[in-house]
Amino acid sequence: MTTLLACTMTPSAASPDRAQRATPSSAINSVLRDQGYVGVPTRRLKSGHYQAVAQVGGKRLSLIIDSGASTSFLDNASAVRLGLSLQQSRVRVSGLGAPAQRVLSARLDDVRLGALRLDSLPVVVLDLSHVNQSLRDEGIELADGVIGADLLAQREAVFDFTSGVLYLR
């Protein structure tokens, strides 16, 4: 097994638009592509979060990349919009400062993140209305869900902060 360590630094954290304008570092891009990685473009939001756009069944989803979220999840409203079959789950989730809540689970089929295709992605489904209200208040695009540590670890994610490209394999 080959372990690859890549580290880049963003010169100015005060410039959230930097990742939107940057292009992938050719050295990092070349090394990772040679190892089977696919680059997924992201953009840095005013909130400092990074957003990736996915397509599921031809419908666009705005997903926040959050390595601190143990599980990938989808908003209730987005699950309904996609017509997903929801299942009761024994899982309870909580975040910092939020009480644990029971959630539903679903499976996203034919997910496309940039050029990467995922046949089946299990997700937790929960109410993100409080998150989206905060985003709305800041004039930021609402989130359909989150790409969490489960998917990032499974796909051996590498994030190039200079270019804002998420590499997955």
Q: Average the pLDDT over 68-80 and give the result.
A: 93
CATH of the domain at 53: 2.40.70.10
In a domain, 8, yes or no: no
Distance CA 165, CA 19 (A): 8
In a domain, 10, yes or no: no
In a domain, 4, yes or no: no
In a domain, 47, yes or no: yes
pLDDT at position 100, please? 77
Give me 34's structure tokens: 């040679």
In a domain, 147, yes or no: yes
pLDDT (tens digit, 9 = 90+) per residue, 78-129? 999 999 999 998 777 777 566 777 789 999 999 999 999 998 889 999 988 9
* 50 closest CA partner among 150, 169, 168, 161: 161
Q: Is the pLDDT of residue 68 over 50?
A: yes
| Mean pLDDT of the residues in the chain | 84
In a domain, 57, yes or no: yes
Other Cβ atoms within 10 Å of 158 Cβ, number: 22
In a domain, 2, yes or no: no
User: Residue 32's domain spans which residues?
Assistant: 18-93+100-168
Other Cβ atoms within 10 Å of 34 Cβ, number: 8
**How confident is residue 5, by pLDDT bands cut at 50, 70 and 90?**
very low
Q: By mean pLDDT, which of 21-25, 61-65, 93-97 is the weakest?
A: 21-25
pLDDT at position 96, please? 59
pTM: 0.80
Q: Is the pLDDT of residue 169 over 70?
A: yes
Number of compact structural domains in the chain? 1
